[in-house]
Structure 1
Amino acid sequence: MTAQRNGIVGESKITNHIIDCLSFIPLFDGLSPADLRIVAKHMHFIEVDEGELVFEEGEPGDYVCFVASGSLEVIKESSKGERAALATLSRGRSIGEMALIDEFPRSATVIAKTSATLITLSRGNFNLILANHPQAGVPVLKGLSRLLSMNLRKTSGQLANLMLSYE
Structure 2
Amino acid sequence: MTPETLTESEEETRSFLISLPIFDSFNVTELSILAQHMSYVHLQRGEHLFVEGDQGTFMGFVVNGVLEVQKRGDLGENIVLARLTRGSSIGEMALIDKSPRSATVIAKQATTMVTLTDKGFDLLAEKMPTLGIKIIKKIARLLSLNMRRTTSKLADLMQSSH
Given the two structures, how large is their TM-score scaled by the length of structure 2? 0.92
Alignment of 1:10-159 (within 5 A): 12-159=7-154
CA RMSD, Structure 1 to Structure 2 (Å):
1.5
**Structure 1: distance between partners of 2:15 and 2:72:** 35
**Structure 1: distance between partners of 2:72 and 2:96:** 22
* Runs of 4+ more than 3 Å apart: none
**Structure 2: distance between partners of 1:12 and 1:136:** 21
**Based on CA coordinates, which of the two structures has the bigger radius of gyration?**
1
Cα distance, 1:104 vs structure 2: 1.2
What is the DSSP-based 3-state SS (H/G/I as helix, E as strand, rest coil) of the residue aligned with 1:50?
A: coil
Partner of residue 5, structure 1: none
Cα distance, 1:78 vs structure 2: 2.0
Q: Which runs of 5+ in 2 are unaligned?
A: none
Q: Percent identity?
A: 42
Matched letter for residue 49 of structure 2: V
Given the two structures, how large is their TM-score scaled by the length of structure 1? 0.90
* CA offset digits 1:76-105 (Å, max 9, x no partner): 112332211111111111101100001210
How many pairs were matched up? Answer: 159
